[in-house]
Amino acid sequence: MLNSTLDKTFAALADPARRAMVERLVLGPATVSELAQPLPMSLPAAMLHLKVLEKSGLVTSEKKGRVRTCHIDPARLSLVERWVGERRRLWEARLDRLGAFLDATKPEDEA
């Protein structure tokens, strides 16, 4: 169960626009337009990305009047999840580098 949650999380973070949103939200809550403003895309496109983040559970949002505010809450992380997240992240980075190494050293007869 933990792994499937992590899979969703990593999938949600596999996009630079969504990572930019998450990095912004780590600094504190932000409105949808604040999140969208620095990104090279339309507000509706940004909202679609936000929807992916919400579905993954990374981000929650609440609407007050006409303003939707988004936030993440790192304090909810359990010790197990912190450890697994940290160690898993280390391995993901290593395996990314291994994949790049395998590509770079590809023999001519490999597909």
Residues that bind other proteins (CB under 8 A): 2-3, 5-6, 8-9, 12-13, 19, 22-23, 25-26, 56-60, 72-95, 97-102, 105-107, 110-111
Cβ distance to other proteins smaller for residue 30 or 58: 58
Cβ neighbours for 30, distance < 8 A, ≥ 6 positions apart: 24, 69, 70, 71
Cβ distance to other proteins smaller for residue 43 or 95: 95
CB of 7 to other proteins, least distance (A): 10
| 57, two tokens | 């559970």
CA 24/CA 2 separation, integer angstroms: 25
Report the candidate in 1, 12, 13, 3 with the shortest Cα–Cα distance to residue 87.
3
CB of 55 to other proteins, least distance (A): 10
CA 28/CA 72 separation, integer angstroms: 8
CB of 37 to other proteins, least distance (A): 18
